[in-house]
A and B are shown apart, each in its own frame.
Chain A
Protein backbone atom coordinates (compact mmCIF):
# COMPACT_ATOMS: atom_id res chain seq x y z
CA UNK A 1 0.00 0.00 0.00
CA UNK A 2 1.31 3.42 -0.83
CA UNK A 3 0.12 6.69 0.60
CA UNK A 4 -0.39 10.01 -1.05
CA UNK A 5 2.91 11.84 -1.28
CA UNK A 6 1.31 15.07 -0.09
CA UNK A 7 0.14 13.34 3.08
CA UNK A 8 3.65 12.02 3.75
CA UNK A 9 5.10 15.49 3.13
CA UNK A 10 2.55 17.09 5.42
CA UNK A 11 3.32 14.63 8.23
CA UNK A 12 7.07 15.13 7.75
CA UNK A 13 6.51 18.88 8.05
CA UNK A 14 4.42 18.40 11.21
CA UNK A 15 7.12 16.18 12.70
CA UNK A 16 9.68 18.89 12.02
CA UNK A 17 7.46 21.50 13.68
CA UNK A 18 6.91 19.44 16.82
CA UNK A 19 10.63 18.69 17.11
CA UNK A 20 11.40 22.39 16.68
CA UNK A 21 8.79 23.38 19.27
CA UNK A 22 10.16 20.70 21.61
CA UNK A 23 13.62 22.29 21.28
CA UNK A 24 12.11 25.63 22.27
CA UNK A 25 10.46 23.97 25.28
CA UNK A 26 13.67 22.27 26.39
CA UNK A 27 15.52 25.55 25.91
CA UNK A 28 12.91 27.42 27.98
CA UNK A 29 12.76 24.73 30.66
CA UNK A 30 16.56 24.48 30.70
CA UNK A 31 16.22 20.70 30.87
CA UNK A 32 14.40 18.01 28.96
CA UNK A 33 14.29 14.62 27.33
CA UNK A 34 15.33 15.40 23.79
CA UNK A 35 16.50 11.86 22.91
CA UNK A 36 13.32 9.89 23.52
CA UNK A 37 11.11 12.81 22.62
CA UNK A 38 12.68 12.95 19.15
CA UNK A 39 12.80 9.19 18.55
CA UNK A 40 9.00 9.00 18.90
CA UNK A 41 8.22 12.26 17.06
CA UNK A 42 7.39 10.74 13.65
CA UNK A 43 5.07 8.18 15.23
CA UNK A 44 3.30 10.92 17.19
CA UNK A 45 2.94 13.05 14.06
CA UNK A 46 1.39 10.12 12.14
CA UNK A 47 -1.04 9.44 14.97
CA UNK A 48 -2.07 12.95 15.92
CA UNK A 49 -2.15 14.53 12.46
CA UNK A 50 -3.66 11.64 10.52
CA UNK A 51 -4.59 8.34 12.12
CA UNK A 52 -6.46 9.30 15.29
CA UNK A 53 -9.97 10.68 15.52
CA UNK A 54 -9.83 13.50 18.01
CA UNK A 55 -11.11 17.04 18.38
CA UNK A 56 -8.91 19.76 19.90
CA UNK A 57 -12.04 21.84 20.53
CA UNK A 58 -13.59 19.01 22.52
CA UNK A 59 -10.78 17.22 24.37
CA UNK A 60 -13.25 15.29 26.52
CA UNK A 61 -15.21 13.88 23.57
CA UNK A 62 -16.15 10.43 24.90
CA UNK A 63 -15.48 8.54 21.68
CA UNK A 64 -12.12 10.10 20.82
CA UNK A 65 -9.19 7.82 20.11
CA UNK A 66 -6.70 7.86 22.98
CA UNK A 67 -2.94 8.32 22.90
CA UNK A 68 -1.23 7.05 26.06
CA UNK A 69 2.47 7.88 26.10
CA UNK A 70 3.71 5.49 28.75
CA UNK A 71 7.28 6.83 28.50
CA UNK A 72 5.83 10.06 29.82
CA UNK A 73 9.14 11.81 30.43
CA UNK A 74 9.32 12.19 26.64
CA UNK A 75 6.62 14.81 26.97
CA UNK A 76 7.98 17.64 24.84
CA UNK A 77 6.98 16.29 21.42
CA UNK A 78 3.62 15.24 22.89
CA UNK A 79 2.94 18.74 24.21
CA UNK A 80 4.15 20.16 20.90
CA UNK A 81 1.76 17.95 18.92
CA UNK A 82 -1.14 19.04 21.14
CA UNK A 83 -0.17 22.71 20.82
CA UNK A 84 0.19 22.38 17.05
CA UNK A 85 -3.25 20.68 16.93
CA UNK A 86 -4.78 23.61 18.81
CA UNK A 87 -5.49 22.08 22.23
CA UNK A 88 -3.82 25.05 23.91
CA UNK A 89 -1.74 28.12 23.14
CA UNK A 90 1.91 27.63 22.29
CA UNK A 91 2.54 30.40 24.82
CA UNK A 92 2.48 27.61 27.41
CA UNK A 93 5.75 26.25 25.99
CA UNK A 94 7.63 29.13 27.61
CA UNK A 95 6.79 27.97 31.12
CA UNK A 96 7.50 24.28 30.47
CA UNK A 97 8.90 22.60 33.58
CA UNK A 98 8.70 25.74 35.67
CA UNK A 99 6.94 26.31 38.98
CA UNK A 100 3.17 26.42 38.51
CA UNK A 101 3.34 25.50 34.81
CA UNK A 102 0.55 23.59 33.08
CA UNK A 103 3.19 21.71 31.11
CA UNK A 104 4.94 19.75 33.85
CA UNK A 105 8.13 17.75 33.33
CA UNK A 106 6.10 14.56 32.91
CA UNK A 107 2.72 14.47 31.16
CA UNK A 108 -0.28 15.13 33.40
CA UNK A 109 -3.98 14.79 32.72
CA UNK A 110 -4.56 18.42 33.70
CA UNK A 111 -3.24 19.34 30.23
CA UNK A 112 -6.00 19.37 27.58
CA UNK A 113 -5.41 16.37 25.32
CA UNK A 114 -3.18 14.46 27.75
CA UNK A 115 -4.85 11.18 28.70
CA UNK A 116 -2.35 9.82 31.17
CA UNK A 117 -0.16 11.12 33.98
CA UNK A 118 3.05 9.18 33.67
CA UNK A 119 6.49 9.29 35.15
CA UNK A 120 6.46 5.87 36.80
CA UNK A 121 7.50 3.59 33.96
CA UNK A 122 5.75 0.41 32.91
CA UNK A 123 2.23 1.50 33.80
CA UNK A 124 0.88 3.16 30.66
CA UNK A 125 0.07 -0.06 28.82
CA UNK A 126 -2.17 -1.16 31.72
CA UNK A 127 -3.89 2.23 31.67
CA UNK A 128 -4.34 1.92 27.91
CA UNK A 129 -5.80 -1.56 28.44
CA UNK A 130 -8.36 -0.13 30.86
CA UNK A 131 -9.29 2.62 28.40
CA UNK A 132 -9.59 0.03 25.62
CA UNK A 133 -11.82 -2.21 27.73
CA UNK A 134 -14.02 0.79 28.53
CA UNK A 135 -14.52 1.36 24.80
CA UNK A 136 -16.19 -2.04 24.52
CA UNK A 137 -18.71 -1.63 27.37
CA UNK A 138 -21.98 -0.11 26.16
CA UNK A 139 -20.71 -0.51 22.57
CA UNK A 140 -22.79 -1.76 19.65
CA UNK A 141 -22.27 -5.40 18.72
CA UNK A 142 -21.45 -6.94 15.34
CA UNK A 143 -23.47 -9.77 13.78
CA UNK A 144 -21.56 -12.39 15.80
CA UNK A 145 -22.19 -10.56 19.06
CA UNK A 146 -18.68 -9.06 19.52
CA UNK A 147 -18.60 -5.45 20.70
CA UNK A 148 -17.57 -2.83 18.16
CA UNK A 149 -15.23 -0.64 20.27
CA UNK A 150 -16.25 3.02 20.41
CA UNK A 151 -12.65 4.16 20.04
CA UNK A 152 -9.08 2.94 19.60
CA UNK A 153 -6.27 3.30 22.11
CA UNK A 154 -2.66 3.86 21.04
CA UNK A 155 0.10 3.39 23.58
CA UNK A 156 3.75 4.29 23.06
CA UNK A 157 6.12 2.31 25.26
CA UNK A 158 9.89 2.40 25.50
CA UNK A 159 12.44 -0.37 25.11
CA UNK A 160 14.14 0.43 28.41
CA UNK A 161 10.69 0.73 29.97
CA UNK A 162 9.99 -2.83 28.90
CA UNK A 163 12.27 -3.98 31.74
CA UNK A 164 9.29 -3.29 34.00
CA UNK A 165 7.28 -6.42 34.83
CA UNK A 166 3.96 -4.62 34.68
CA UNK A 167 4.33 -4.22 30.91
CA UNK A 168 4.13 -7.99 30.61
CA UNK A 169 1.19 -8.22 33.02
CA UNK A 170 -0.70 -5.92 30.66
CA UNK A 171 0.48 -7.85 27.60
CA UNK A 172 -0.93 -11.04 29.12
CA UNK A 173 -4.29 -9.50 30.09
CA UNK A 174 -4.82 -7.66 26.79
CA UNK A 175 -4.53 -10.93 24.88
CA UNK A 176 -6.71 -12.78 27.41
CA UNK A 177 -9.49 -10.25 26.79
CA UNK A 178 -8.79 -10.11 23.01
CA UNK A 179 -8.50 -6.33 23.15
CA UNK A 180 -8.13 -5.59 19.44
CA UNK A 181 -8.71 -1.84 19.79
CA UNK A 182 -5.39 -1.53 21.61
CA UNK A 183 -2.30 -0.72 19.52
CA UNK A 184 1.03 -0.58 21.36
CA UNK A 185 3.99 1.02 19.62
CA UNK A 186 7.46 0.21 20.90
CA UNK A 187 9.78 3.18 20.42
CA UNK A 188 12.85 0.97 20.05
CA UNK A 189 15.59 3.60 20.17
CA UNK A 190 18.14 1.20 21.70
CA UNK A 191 19.06 3.43 24.65
CA UNK A 192 17.85 3.73 28.20
CA UNK A 193 18.74 6.22 30.90
CA UNK A 194 22.26 5.14 31.75
CA UNK A 195 23.41 3.21 28.68
CA UNK A 196 22.38 1.09 25.73
CA UNK A 197 19.47 -1.28 26.12
CA UNK A 198 21.75 -4.11 25.08
CA UNK A 199 24.27 -3.47 27.85
CA UNK A 200 21.80 -2.55 30.62
CA UNK A 201 19.23 -5.31 30.10
CA UNK A 202 19.38 -7.22 26.90
CA UNK A 203 15.84 -8.18 25.97
CA UNK A 204 16.56 -9.64 22.57
CA UNK A 205 14.74 -11.07 20.71
CA UNK A 206 12.00 -8.43 20.84
CA UNK A 207 9.81 -9.69 18.04
CA UNK A 208 9.79 -13.26 19.32
CA UNK A 209 8.71 -12.11 22.78
CA UNK A 210 5.61 -10.33 21.50
CA UNK A 211 4.84 -13.15 19.08
CA UNK A 212 5.11 -15.63 21.94
CA UNK A 213 2.39 -13.66 23.74
CA UNK A 214 0.37 -14.04 20.54
CA UNK A 215 0.01 -10.32 19.86
CA UNK A 216 -0.41 -9.18 16.26
CA UNK A 217 3.24 -8.23 15.77
CA UNK A 218 4.94 -6.13 13.11
CA UNK A 219 8.43 -4.62 12.90
CA UNK A 220 8.99 -1.34 11.06
CA UNK A 221 11.30 1.63 10.57
CA UNK A 222 9.80 4.14 13.01
CA UNK A 223 10.93 7.10 10.94
CA UNK A 224 9.38 5.90 7.65
CA UNK A 225 5.90 7.45 7.39
CA UNK A 226 4.82 5.01 4.72
CA UNK A 227 5.68 2.12 7.05
CA UNK A 228 4.10 3.77 10.11
CA UNK A 229 0.81 4.52 8.34
CA UNK A 230 0.62 1.05 6.81
CA UNK A 231 1.24 -0.61 10.18
CA UNK A 232 -1.43 1.52 11.87
CA UNK A 233 -3.96 0.74 9.14
CA UNK A 234 -3.19 -2.97 9.21
CA UNK A 235 -3.73 -2.99 12.97
CA UNK A 236 -7.33 -1.94 12.36
CA UNK A 237 -7.86 -4.99 10.17
CA UNK A 238 -6.60 -7.75 12.47
CA UNK A 239 -9.39 -8.76 14.86
CA UNK A 240 -9.39 -10.71 18.10
CA UNK A 241 -5.94 -9.75 19.40
CA UNK A 242 -4.01 -6.65 20.47
CA UNK A 243 -1.34 -5.17 18.23
CA UNK A 244 2.32 -4.29 18.71
CA UNK A 245 4.28 -2.20 16.25
CA UNK A 246 7.97 -2.59 17.01
CA UNK A 247 9.35 0.64 15.59
CA UNK A 248 13.11 0.84 15.13
CA UNK A 249 14.00 4.43 15.90
CA UNK A 250 17.01 6.62 16.51
CA UNK A 251 17.45 8.54 19.72
CA UNK A 252 17.53 12.31 18.98
CA UNK A 253 16.35 11.67 15.40
CA UNK A 254 16.17 14.95 13.49
CA UNK A 255 19.41 16.59 14.58
CA UNK A 256 22.13 14.56 12.84
CA UNK A 257 24.97 15.51 15.17
CA UNK A 258 22.93 14.41 18.22
CA UNK A 259 21.79 11.10 16.74
CA UNK A 260 23.15 7.87 18.20
CA UNK A 261 24.29 9.77 21.29
CA UNK A 262 22.45 8.99 24.48
CA UNK A 263 21.13 12.49 25.08
CA UNK A 264 18.54 11.15 27.48
CA UNK A 265 17.96 13.95 29.96
CA UNK A 266 19.99 17.04 29.23
CA UNK A 267 20.39 20.77 29.18
CA UNK A 268 20.98 22.35 25.78
CA UNK A 269 24.09 24.52 25.50
CA UNK A 270 23.90 27.67 23.37
CA UNK A 271 25.70 25.76 20.60
CA UNK A 272 23.38 22.75 20.81
CA UNK A 273 20.31 24.96 20.75
CA UNK A 274 21.55 26.76 17.62
CA UNK A 275 22.57 23.47 16.01
CA UNK A 276 19.17 21.89 16.68
CA UNK A 277 17.24 24.83 15.27
CA UNK A 278 19.50 24.90 12.19
CA UNK A 279 18.91 21.18 11.57
CA UNK A 280 15.15 21.59 11.95
CA UNK A 281 14.74 24.66 9.73
Chain B
Protein backbone atom coordinates (compact mmCIF):
# COMPACT_ATOMS: atom_id res chain seq x y z
CA UNK B 1 0.00 0.00 0.00
CA UNK B 2 1.23 3.47 -0.82
CA UNK B 3 2.18 5.43 2.26
CA UNK B 4 1.90 9.20 2.47
CA UNK B 5 4.51 11.31 4.28
CA UNK B 6 6.11 8.23 5.90
CA UNK B 7 9.88 7.70 6.13
CA UNK B 8 10.94 4.37 4.64
CA UNK B 9 12.54 2.83 6.54
CA UNK B 10 11.42 4.61 9.73
CA UNK B 11 13.88 7.24 10.95
CA UNK B 12 15.86 8.21 14.05
CA UNK B 13 14.77 6.96 17.48
CA UNK B 14 14.25 9.88 19.83
CA UNK B 15 12.25 10.65 22.98
CA UNK B 16 9.29 12.91 22.21
CA UNK B 17 10.11 14.99 25.31
CA UNK B 18 13.51 15.81 23.78
CA UNK B 19 11.95 16.70 20.42
CA UNK B 20 9.44 18.92 22.22
CA UNK B 21 12.15 20.76 24.17
CA UNK B 22 14.31 21.30 21.09
CA UNK B 23 11.35 22.94 19.38
CA UNK B 24 10.56 25.08 22.45
CA UNK B 25 14.12 26.42 22.50
CA UNK B 26 13.77 27.33 18.81
CA UNK B 27 10.42 29.03 19.38
CA UNK B 28 11.60 30.92 22.47
CA UNK B 29 14.28 32.69 20.44
CA UNK B 30 11.54 34.49 18.53
CA UNK B 31 8.71 34.49 21.06
CA UNK B 32 9.59 36.39 24.24
CA UNK B 33 6.31 35.40 25.89
CA UNK B 34 7.22 31.74 26.37
CA UNK B 35 7.85 30.79 30.01
CA UNK B 36 8.54 27.28 31.26
CA UNK B 37 7.36 25.90 34.61
CA UNK B 38 8.37 22.56 36.10
CA UNK B 39 7.18 20.54 39.07
CA UNK B 40 10.55 19.09 40.15
CA UNK B 41 10.82 17.69 36.65
CA UNK B 42 13.98 17.05 34.60
CA UNK B 43 14.50 19.52 31.78
CA UNK B 44 16.91 17.61 29.59
CA UNK B 45 19.75 19.25 27.66
CA UNK B 46 17.43 21.48 25.61
CA UNK B 47 15.62 22.67 28.74
CA UNK B 48 18.98 23.55 30.32
CA UNK B 49 19.77 25.55 27.20
CA UNK B 50 16.51 27.49 27.70
CA UNK B 51 17.59 28.15 31.31
CA UNK B 52 20.87 29.61 30.02
CA UNK B 53 19.22 31.75 27.37
CA UNK B 54 16.21 32.95 29.39
CA UNK B 55 17.00 32.61 33.11
CA UNK B 56 14.16 34.97 34.05
CA UNK B 57 11.52 32.92 32.20
CA UNK B 58 11.91 29.49 33.78
CA UNK B 59 10.58 28.30 37.16
CA UNK B 60 10.41 25.15 39.20
CA UNK B 61 7.76 25.12 41.91
CA UNK B 62 8.83 21.81 43.40
CA UNK B 63 6.61 18.78 43.90
CA UNK B 64 3.39 20.77 43.94
CA UNK B 65 1.31 20.13 40.83
CA UNK B 66 -1.70 22.17 41.90
CA UNK B 67 0.45 25.24 42.41
CA UNK B 68 2.27 24.48 39.15
CA UNK B 69 -0.90 24.69 37.06
CA UNK B 70 -2.47 27.68 38.81
CA UNK B 71 0.77 29.68 38.86
CA UNK B 72 0.95 29.11 35.10
CA UNK B 73 -2.61 30.41 34.80
CA UNK B 74 -1.54 33.56 36.67
CA UNK B 75 1.43 34.02 34.33
CA UNK B 76 -0.98 33.74 31.39
CA UNK B 77 -3.18 36.33 33.12
CA UNK B 78 -0.07 38.52 33.21
CA UNK B 79 0.32 38.22 29.44
CA UNK B 80 2.82 35.36 29.11
CA UNK B 81 2.69 31.97 27.38
CA UNK B 82 3.45 29.33 30.01
CA UNK B 83 4.21 25.65 29.35
CA UNK B 84 3.95 23.40 32.43
CA UNK B 85 5.85 20.15 32.88
CA UNK B 86 5.15 17.27 35.24
CA UNK B 87 4.12 13.63 35.03
CA UNK B 88 0.78 13.32 33.30
CA UNK B 89 -0.65 11.21 36.11
CA UNK B 90 -0.05 14.06 38.56
CA UNK B 91 -1.15 16.90 36.28
CA UNK B 92 -4.39 15.12 35.40
CA UNK B 93 -4.77 13.23 38.66
CA UNK B 94 -3.75 15.82 41.23
CA UNK B 95 -4.37 19.11 39.45
CA UNK B 96 -7.54 18.26 37.55
CA UNK B 97 -9.57 20.98 39.18
CA UNK B 98 -6.80 23.52 38.56
CA UNK B 99 -6.72 22.59 34.84
CA UNK B 100 -10.49 22.87 34.69
CA UNK B 101 -11.05 25.94 36.83
CA UNK B 102 -7.89 28.04 36.54
CA UNK B 103 -6.95 27.28 32.92
CA UNK B 104 -9.82 25.99 30.78
CA UNK B 105 -12.68 27.93 32.40
CA UNK B 106 -11.17 31.27 31.34
CA UNK B 107 -9.52 30.00 28.14
CA UNK B 108 -6.16 31.09 29.50
CA UNK B 109 -3.22 30.59 27.20
CA UNK B 110 -1.55 27.80 29.18
CA UNK B 111 0.02 24.73 27.59
CA UNK B 112 -0.02 21.71 29.89
CA UNK B 113 2.62 19.22 28.84
CA UNK B 114 1.46 15.79 30.00
CA UNK B 115 4.88 14.18 30.39
CA UNK B 116 5.25 10.40 30.48
CA UNK B 117 1.77 10.13 29.13
CA UNK B 118 -0.20 6.91 28.71
CA UNK B 119 0.39 3.28 29.58
CA UNK B 120 3.65 2.84 27.67
CA UNK B 121 6.12 3.95 30.31
CA UNK B 122 8.52 1.14 31.14
CA UNK B 123 9.47 0.00 34.66
CA UNK B 124 7.47 2.59 36.65
CA UNK B 125 4.34 0.55 37.24
CA UNK B 126 0.66 1.26 37.70
CA UNK B 127 0.95 4.26 40.03
CA UNK B 128 2.64 6.22 37.25
CA UNK B 129 1.17 4.90 34.02
CA UNK B 130 -1.92 6.97 33.28
CA UNK B 131 -4.85 5.34 31.54
CA UNK B 132 -7.43 8.08 32.19
CA UNK B 133 -5.94 11.20 30.62
CA UNK B 134 -7.74 11.22 27.26
CA UNK B 135 -11.13 10.61 28.87
CA UNK B 136 -10.47 13.10 31.65
CA UNK B 137 -9.08 15.87 29.47
CA UNK B 138 -11.43 15.70 26.52
CA UNK B 139 -14.52 16.27 28.65
CA UNK B 140 -13.25 19.72 29.75
CA UNK B 141 -14.74 22.55 27.65
CA UNK B 142 -12.35 24.96 25.88
CA UNK B 143 -9.37 22.61 26.24
CA UNK B 144 -7.55 21.38 23.11
CA UNK B 145 -6.00 17.91 23.52
CA UNK B 146 -3.15 16.87 21.24
CA UNK B 147 -1.31 13.58 21.06
CA UNK B 148 1.61 13.43 18.61
CA UNK B 149 2.98 10.09 17.53
CA UNK B 150 6.70 10.56 16.86
CA UNK B 151 9.52 13.14 17.18
CA UNK B 152 8.64 14.88 13.90
CA UNK B 153 4.95 15.31 14.71
CA UNK B 154 5.87 16.36 18.26
CA UNK B 155 7.81 19.30 16.82
CA UNK B 156 4.96 20.33 14.53
CA UNK B 157 2.42 19.99 17.33
CA UNK B 158 4.59 22.07 19.67
CA UNK B 159 4.84 24.87 17.13
CA UNK B 160 1.10 24.73 16.39
CA UNK B 161 0.02 24.91 20.03
CA UNK B 162 2.38 27.80 20.72
CA UNK B 163 0.63 29.68 17.93
CA UNK B 164 -2.87 28.63 19.00
CA UNK B 165 -4.23 31.10 21.56
CA UNK B 166 -5.96 29.14 24.31
CA UNK B 167 -5.53 26.22 26.68
CA UNK B 168 -3.93 23.02 25.37
CA UNK B 169 -2.95 19.70 26.91
CA UNK B 170 -0.11 17.93 25.09
CA UNK B 171 0.49 14.18 25.50
CA UNK B 172 4.18 13.26 25.45
CA UNK B 173 5.15 9.59 25.85
CA UNK B 174 8.24 8.45 27.73
CA UNK B 175 10.18 6.05 25.48
CA UNK B 176 12.32 6.86 22.49
CA UNK B 177 10.21 6.19 19.42
CA UNK B 178 11.07 5.94 15.73
CA UNK B 179 10.55 8.94 13.49
CA UNK B 180 7.58 8.02 11.34
CA UNK B 181 7.02 11.23 9.41
CA UNK B 182 9.03 12.98 6.75
CA UNK B 183 9.66 16.61 7.69
CA UNK B 184 7.39 17.89 4.91
CA UNK B 185 4.17 16.28 6.11
CA UNK B 186 1.24 18.69 6.30
CA UNK B 187 0.09 19.46 9.82
CA UNK B 188 -2.99 21.31 10.96
CA UNK B 189 -4.52 21.22 14.45
CA UNK B 190 -7.82 19.34 14.31
CA UNK B 191 -7.13 17.64 10.95
CA UNK B 192 -6.24 13.95 10.98
CA UNK B 193 -3.35 12.87 8.74
CA UNK B 194 -4.14 10.09 6.26
CA UNK B 195 -1.00 7.96 6.06
CA UNK B 196 -2.54 5.20 3.96
CA UNK B 197 -5.67 5.47 1.87
CA UNK B 198 -7.25 1.99 1.91
CA UNK B 199 -10.90 1.09 1.51
CA UNK B 200 -11.51 -2.19 3.43
CA UNK B 201 -11.25 -0.83 6.98
CA UNK B 202 -9.81 2.17 8.77
CA UNK B 203 -7.38 2.25 11.66
CA UNK B 204 -7.57 5.47 13.65
CA UNK B 205 -4.53 5.83 15.89
CA UNK B 206 -3.28 8.39 18.36
CA UNK B 207 0.10 8.78 20.03
CA UNK B 208 3.19 6.60 19.90
CA UNK B 209 1.38 3.40 18.84
CA UNK B 210 1.22 4.79 15.30
CA UNK B 211 4.31 2.78 14.32
CA UNK B 212 2.58 -0.40 15.52
CA UNK B 213 -0.51 0.51 13.53
CA UNK B 214 1.66 0.98 10.44
CA UNK B 215 3.17 -2.45 10.95
CA UNK B 216 -0.35 -3.91 11.25
CA UNK B 217 -1.33 -2.43 7.88
CA UNK B 218 1.61 -4.27 6.28
CA UNK B 219 0.51 -7.57 7.84
CA UNK B 220 -3.04 -7.01 6.58
CA UNK B 221 -1.93 -5.93 3.10
CA UNK B 222 -0.30 -9.35 2.68
CA UNK B 223 -3.75 -10.88 3.30
CA UNK B 224 -5.33 -8.55 0.79
CA UNK B 225 -7.00 -6.28 3.38
CA UNK B 226 -6.44 -2.69 2.31
CA UNK B 227 -6.51 -0.53 5.42
CA UNK B 228 -6.83 3.23 5.66
CA UNK B 229 -4.62 4.65 8.42
CA UNK B 230 -5.45 7.93 10.12
CA UNK B 231 -3.24 9.64 12.71
CA UNK B 232 -5.66 11.44 15.04
CA UNK B 233 -3.02 13.75 16.54
CA UNK B 234 -5.71 16.14 17.75
CA UNK B 235 -8.17 14.37 20.01
CA UNK B 236 -10.10 17.54 20.72
CA UNK B 237 -11.44 19.12 18.63
CA UNK B 238 -11.71 15.75 16.92
CA UNK B 239 -11.77 15.50 13.14
CA UNK B 240 -15.35 14.25 12.88
CA UNK B 241 -15.33 14.71 9.13
CA UNK B 242 -12.40 12.34 8.60
CA UNK B 243 -13.91 9.77 10.97
CA UNK B 244 -17.33 9.88 9.30
CA UNK B 245 -15.76 9.65 5.86
CA UNK B 246 -13.63 6.68 6.93
CA UNK B 247 -16.69 4.91 8.36
CA UNK B 248 -18.75 5.52 5.23
CA UNK B 249 -16.01 4.59 2.78
CA UNK B 250 -14.47 1.58 4.54
CA UNK B 251 -17.35 0.22 6.64
CA UNK B 252 -15.15 -0.89 9.57
CA UNK B 253 -13.24 1.13 12.16
CA UNK B 254 -10.47 0.16 14.60
CA UNK B 255 -9.09 2.66 17.09
CA UNK B 256 -5.61 2.32 18.62
CA UNK B 257 -4.31 4.09 21.72
CA UNK B 258 -2.13 3.47 24.79
CA UNK B 259 -4.92 4.83 26.96
CA UNK B 260 -8.19 3.50 28.35
CA UNK B 261 -10.70 2.74 25.62
CA UNK B 262 -13.38 3.94 28.07
CA UNK B 263 -13.74 7.57 27.12
CA UNK B 264 -10.41 7.49 25.31
CA UNK B 265 -9.86 7.78 21.56
CA UNK B 266 -12.00 4.65 21.20
CA UNK B 267 -14.84 6.32 23.04
CA UNK B 268 -14.44 9.58 21.14
CA UNK B 269 -14.47 7.88 17.73
CA UNK B 270 -17.39 5.62 18.73
CA UNK B 271 -19.45 8.71 19.59
CA UNK B 272 -18.91 10.14 16.10
CA UNK B 273 -19.39 6.82 14.29
CA UNK B 274 -22.57 5.95 16.21
CA UNK B 275 -24.14 9.33 15.46
CA UNK B 276 -23.02 9.80 11.87
CA UNK B 277 -22.29 6.48 10.19
CA UNK B 278 -22.76 3.38 12.36
CA UNK B 279 -20.39 0.58 11.27
CA UNK B 280 -18.62 -2.28 13.12
CA UNK B 281 -15.87 -1.03 15.44
CA UNK B 282 -13.11 -2.49 17.61
CA UNK B 283 -11.16 -0.51 20.17
CA UNK B 284 -7.52 -1.44 20.76
CA UNK B 285 -6.31 0.11 24.01
CA UNK B 286 -6.33 -0.38 27.75
CA UNK B 287 -9.37 -2.37 28.78
CA UNK B 288 -10.34 -1.15 32.23
CA UNK B 289 -7.12 -2.20 33.98
CA UNK B 290 -4.31 -0.45 35.79
CA UNK B 291 -0.73 -0.71 34.56
CA UNK B 292 2.31 -2.56 35.93
CA UNK B 293 6.11 -2.71 35.64
CA UNK B 294 7.54 -4.12 32.45
CA UNK B 295 9.46 -3.32 29.29
CA UNK B 296 7.66 -1.65 26.39
CA UNK B 297 7.46 -4.93 24.37
CA UNK B 298 6.16 -6.75 27.47
CA UNK B 299 3.57 -4.06 28.18
CA UNK B 300 2.40 -4.01 24.57
CA UNK B 301 2.00 -7.78 24.66
CA UNK B 302 0.20 -7.87 28.03
CA UNK B 303 -2.16 -5.00 27.19
CA UNK B 304 -2.74 -6.21 23.60
CA UNK B 305 -1.25 -3.20 21.84
CA UNK B 306 1.09 -4.96 19.38
CA UNK B 307 0.78 -4.84 15.58
CA UNK B 308 -0.49 -8.42 15.81
CA UNK B 309 -3.33 -7.39 18.14
CA UNK B 310 -4.20 -4.39 15.97
CA UNK B 311 -4.29 -6.58 12.84
CA UNK B 312 -6.54 -9.11 14.59
CA UNK B 313 -8.94 -6.33 15.62
CA UNK B 314 -9.12 -5.21 11.98
CA UNK B 315 -9.87 -8.75 10.79
CA UNK B 316 -12.67 -9.06 13.38
CA UNK B 317 -14.22 -5.73 12.48
CA UNK B 318 -14.06 -6.51 8.76
CA UNK B 319 -15.82 -9.86 9.42
CA UNK B 320 -18.71 -8.00 11.06
CA UNK B 321 -19.35 -5.80 8.03
Q: Are B79 and A62 in contact (CB under 8 A)?
A: yes
Q: State in angstroms the CA–CA spacing of A169 and B77 once bound together.
A: 19
Question: Can you name 15 A-B residue pairings with CB atoms under 8 Å?
Answer: A109-B106, A120-B98, A126-B66, A126-B70, A126-B98, A127-B71, A130-B73, A131-B74, A131-B77, A134-B80, A136-B56, A166-B64, A170-B70, A173-B71, A177-B59
The smallest C-beta distance from B54 to any residue of chain A, in angstroms, reads 9
Contacting B78 at CB < 8 Å: which of A126, A130, A172, A177?
A130
- Partner-binding segment picked from A46-54, A111-119, A234-242, A270-278: A111-119
**B 30-66 to A, binary, CB cutoff 8 A, 1 in contact else 0:** 0010010000000000000000000011010110101
Q: Are B64 and A133 in contact (CB under 8 A)?
A: no
Q: Using C-beta atoms within 8 Å of the partner chain, give the interface range for chain B.
A: 20 to 34
Q: State in angstroms the CA–CA spacing of A140 and B275 once bound together.
A: 57
**A130-B74, A133-B59, A172-B64 known; A123-B98 Cβ under 8 A:** yes
Q: State in angstroms the CA–CA spacing of A244 and B127 once bound together.
A: 37
The smallest C-beta distance from A63 to any residue of chain B, in angstroms, reads 10
Q: Are B106 and A166 in contact (CB under 8 A)?
A: no
Q: State in angstroms the CA–CA spacing of A130 and B73 once bound together.
A: 7
Q: Are A130 and B71 in contact (CB under 8 A)?
A: yes
Q: Which B residue sits closest to A62, measured CB to CB?
A: B79
Q: Are B62 and A173 in contact (CB under 8 A)?
A: yes
* B101 CB-CB contact with A under 8 Å: yes
* A266 CB-CB contact with B under 8 Å: no
- Name A154-202 residues within 8 Å CB distance of B: 165-166, 169-170, 172-173, 176-177
Query: Which chain A residues border B105 with CB–CB below 8 Å?
Result: 117
The smallest C-beta distance from B104 to any residue of chain A, in angstroms, reads 10
Contacting A123 at CB < 8 Å: which of B77, B79, B101?
B101
Q: State in angstroms the CA–CA spacing of A169 and B86 once bound together.
A: 15
Q: A127-B102, A134-B77 are known contacts; what are 13 more A-B pairs with Cβ within 8 Å?
A: A108-B106, A120-B98, A123-B98, A126-B98, A130-B73, A130-B77, A130-B78, A134-B78, A135-B78, A138-B32, A147-B56, A166-B67, A173-B62
* A129 CB-CB contact with B under 8 Å: yes
6 closest Cβ pairs, A-B complex: A130-B74, A134-B78, A126-B70, A169-B67, A169-B64, A127-B74
Query: Which chain A residues border B75 with CB–CB below 8 Å?
Result: 130-131, 133-134
Contacting A173 at CB < 8 Å: which of B64, B80, B101?
B64
Contacting B61 at CB < 8 Å: which of A109, A128, A135, A173?
A173
Of residues B62, B67, B73, which shows the largest number of chain A Cβ atoms within 10 Å of its Cβ? B67
The smallest C-beta distance from B94 to any residue of chain A, in angstroms, reads 10
* A203 CB-CB contact with B under 8 Å: no
